[in-house]
Amino acid sequence: MGNPTYTNLPSEVLSEDKLTQLALDVRWSWNHSTDELWRKLNPELWDLTRNPWIILQTVSRRRLETVTSDPEFQGLLDDLTEASRAHIETPCWFEKVYPNSPLKTVAYFSMEYMLSEALPIYSGGLGNVAGDQLKAAHDLGVPVVGVGLLYQQGYFRQQFDSNGAQRALFPFNDPGQLPIKPVRDSEGDWLRLIVRLPGFELWIRAWEVQVGRTKLYLLDTNDPANLPDYRGINSELYGGGPELRLRQELVLGIGGWRLLRALGIQPEVCHLNEGHAAFAVLERACCHMDDNGQPFPLALTVTRAGNLFTTHTPVEAGFDRFPLELMQKYLGQYVEQRLRISFRDFMAMGRRNGDDESEPFNMAYLAVRGSGAVNAVSKLHGVVSRGIFDALFPRWPLEEVPVGYVTNGVHVPTWDSVDADRLWTSTCGKGCWLGDLKGMSTCVRKVQDADIWRMRTAERRLLVEYVRGRFARQVASQGGAPQEVALAGQAFDFGTLTLGFARRFATYKRPNLLLRDPERLMRILFDHQRPVQLILAGKAHPQDEAGQEMIRQWNSFIHALGLPSPVIFLSDYDMLLTEQLTGGVDVWLNTPRRPWEASGTSGMKVLVNGGLNVSELDGWWAEAYSPDVGWAIGDGREHNSDPAWDAAEAEALYTLLEREIIPEFYERDDQGIPRKWVARIRESMARLTPEFSANRAVRQYTESHYLPAAAEYNQRAAEGSKLGAELLAWREELAKHWQDLRFGPLEAEPRDSLLFFQVPVYFGELNPDAVRVELFADRQDAGEVLRQQMTRGGKLDGNGYLYSTTVPATRNAADFTPRVLPFHPHAAVPLEANEILWRK
């Protein structure tokens, strides 16, 4: 086919026009230097959509010629074009720090991406993380390529009826009005891929999204050559039943890897953002088989070293599972012809118990068994995830289950307000989020109280103005009378303490915790001397009746207050609304049941703009909280769904608001500045914003995962997969002879201030070099787990050896137990070999 080239969608503007190039690079979604340009072309449409491509598709040629002929406009356009070129050509962090890196490409697979409201292919947190990490990869120059799906409708849009009940709407995403372009081959043909499904071929079209230096490729099944049923595979994000979800995940994983191959992109690292894309593990191994004439077990041994699986799920039930009959229908032929292994062996890759024919196929299990590393998205979520995946590593201690963590972060330039951006720039310098962030905390701590309070006052004013306009439109759309619309447009006050609560409405998030005592809440809201106003937003899944009922309860409460109200529930929680809320609220509320918030990112966005958090000690807040940066509810332990505990935490939240948060906000000096409040803002911004930024997260992924994974993959693939073959042989030997292992009697004796341990180990047919023998002791109180390698000594009859070691005599000898575990210097144990033998 030759190397692909790319052309733009046909439009009223010339394809090579500078405006087109700027409009089709979604860097404008966080680099606001182009805002003035688009506003000049169509101010109303820009404010409503923030989509330059729609503006260029909508504006008449006459209007375009008139505006672009203006010397001032032309000068601005030339300056922006040159600045964009210079920005792309400027060396980045990755290039400067790792100039000779073996890492050339990371393929990042995700079911959703939140890049801009102009490209509505996201639902919430997962897409937020994916979009922000792509942007941070651009900033840092990390060579990431994104792979996702283009949805015809995406996630549902929300409206409220006259009774406050949620209505789910599914407007069509017109590709011609999205900032995307088709991928075309060297002949100019639209690049189309084929995935064979039962009885026919599925055609998949490819689109490209430019994210600065980074590209995101989107797969689309709405090809006229497909059967009607299959054109709708990408109809909705997280819609339909298991069969539609399986089809989508086949397109994402298998189709996505084939797209990269068709483009000539050969990633060293494949990053699976959740288990939805786990089929990419299989297709990557297949491509290695094709290229090297090797069987699937060897291909997987080689390629898995370059695969990273990030899990976002806090409960085991949250993983996608598919029954045997669906897997046989859609993957039976693929397994037989491409993987060339038995279907039973294939199903075992997605089962806890490979021999249980009734167990469905778990996509997260496939991702674990096909990856060289697994990570959760916060420190606490790492603990939770080790419990979830514990079943795959029987007899291993829970803390040795191979799941690490990289706490999520947000892309600061996307989420900072205009005023916050000015403060960051004046304090830390232009481009402060493009490097390693050293010294940022020190800089922020030097900011004057008056400057911080001035920023917060301006941000709150902008939020109130936005809320008034949006709420008035919302009341009108619900059939409100002109007088009601007018009152809605007068909602809220510029100087009142403003709380925000916006997230998916689900029972575990407890969005109605503040409603447990409505009378007490009203006393808080209507205090004449220290009033409070509250903004709510959030969607409940169309099939989640409990979540929808909680929305209705809030709207019923608000309706009873009348207009204007100190509480507003804004419909259709989207990226634009998120930007406004997190930019302007004083306090962000978060009330999940611990430990069901894997990470959470909305509160991180609030940090960026000087807002403060009051949250359950869950997700990221469990590692971020200290009394000088915000407030916490809960005792740092799990209470499941105990109604008594919910009541206790509601009481704690009311008390916190009444006794600490509200008084501190309104406690002003003679200059009108709440000094304690501002001190808390300063420390929150200085300490937490850099730490919970996507900049830090992507640098951590790069240094802790991407670079080591690329190096290990290259080593395993080199010389005809020589190391990969060695590892496969090692693994097969372990499986064949592990049952031969046994311990002899353990001897322990004190020697001065030490304990000496000695134990015979008999190997049968197993090579002793294939394992290591350790002395192990569980954690005691707040101490560390002890794992100490034992030294191999003299040979014994029956292929045995005497192993020994000494440890400090600070614990009883009975606390220690010898164990044998697999060992190879290039293997990830227990991820690639989960055998373990304990001396009973």
Query: What is the Cα–Cα distance from 280 to 151, expressed in whole angstroms?
Result: 19
Region(s) of the chain under CATH 2.60.40.10: 741-838
Q: CA torsion sign, 258 to 260 to 262 to 264?
A: negative
Q: What is the mean pLDDT of the chain?
A: 94
Burial of 52 (0-12, 13-18, 19+ CB in 10 A): buried
> Beta-strand (E) ranges in 692-816?
742-743, 747-751, 754-762, 771-777, 786-789, 791-796, 800-808
At the second CATH level, the architecture of 104-405 is 3-Layer(aba) Sandwich (3.40)
Query: CATH assignment of 447-695, given 1.10.3720.10, 3.40.50.2000, 3.10.20.30, 3.30.2350.10?
Result: 3.40.50.2000
31-76 pLDDT tens trace: 888 888 899 999 999 988 889 999 998 988 888 888 888 888 888 8
Mean of pLDDT values over 362-371: 98
Strand, helix or coil at 837?
Answer: strand
- The residue-averaged pLDDT of 640-650 equals 92
Q: Which amino acid is at 157?
A: R
Crossing angle of helices 449-477 and 418-428, rounded to 10°? 160
Run of H or E including 615: strand 612-616
φ, ψ of residue 336 in degrees (nearest 5): -70, -45
User: Is pLDDT at 122 greater than 70 in this prediction?
Assistant: yes
Between the two ends of the chain, the Cα-to-Cα distance in Å is 62
Give CA–CA dist 452/423, Å, rounded.
8
Residue 685: predicted pLDDT: 97
The confidence score (pLDDT) of residue 230 equals: 92
Each residue's pLDDT tens digit, 563-573: 999 999 999 99
The predicted-structure confidence for 391-435, as pLDDT tens digits, reads as follows 999 999 999 999 999 999 999 999 999 999 999 999 999 889 999
Average pLDDT over residues 320-342: 96
Residue 639 has pLDDT above 90, yes or no: yes
Give dist(CA 369, CA 557) in Å, integer: 49
Q: What is the pLDDT of residue 782?
A: 66
User: Omega into 120 within 30° of 0, i.e. cis?
Assistant: no
Q: DSSP character for 693? A: B
At 809 the pLDDT is 92
- Copy the structure tokens of residue 635: 């005792």
pLDDT at 3: 43
pLDDT tens across 661-703, in order? 999 999 999 999 999 999 999 999 999 999 999 999 999 999 9
List, for residues 701-745, the tens digit of each pLDDT value. Answer: 999 999 999 999 999 999 999 999 999 999 999 999 999 999 999
Q: Confidence class of residue 7 from pLDDT cuts 50, 70 and 90?
A: very low
Tell me: pLDDT of 16 over 50. Answer: no
The answer to whether 26 and 209 have CB atoms below 8 angstroms apart is yes
Q: What percent of the chain has pLDDT over 70?
A: 98
- Numbered ranges of CATH 3.40.50.2000 in the chain: 104-405, 447-695
Percent of the chain with pLDDT over 90: 84
Which pLDDT tens digit goes with each residue over 210-222?
Answer: 999 999 999 999 9
**CATH number, span 741-838:** 2.60.40.10
Helices (H), 478-544: 482-488, 518-525
The residue that leads in pLDDT, 456 or 70, is 456
What pLDDT was estimated at residue 635? 93
pLDDT band at 92 (very low <50, low <70, confident <90, very high): very high
Give the 3-state secondary structure of residue 653: helix
Q: Which amino acid is at 827?
A: A
Amino acid letter, residue 75: G
List CB contacts of 413: < 8 A, sequence separation 6 or more: 30, 31, 135, 139, 421, 433
Reading the block at residue 163, the tokens are 């009774």
Report whether pLDDT(4) > 70. Answer: no
770 secondary structure, DSSP code: G
pLDDT of residue 48: 85
Rg (alpha carbons) of the chain, rounded to whole number: 29
* Residue found under tokens 């230097």: 33
Distance CA 361, CA 250 (A): 14
Tokens of 132: 């922000």
- How far from 331 is each of 59, 255, 325, CA to CA, in Å? 48, 13, 10
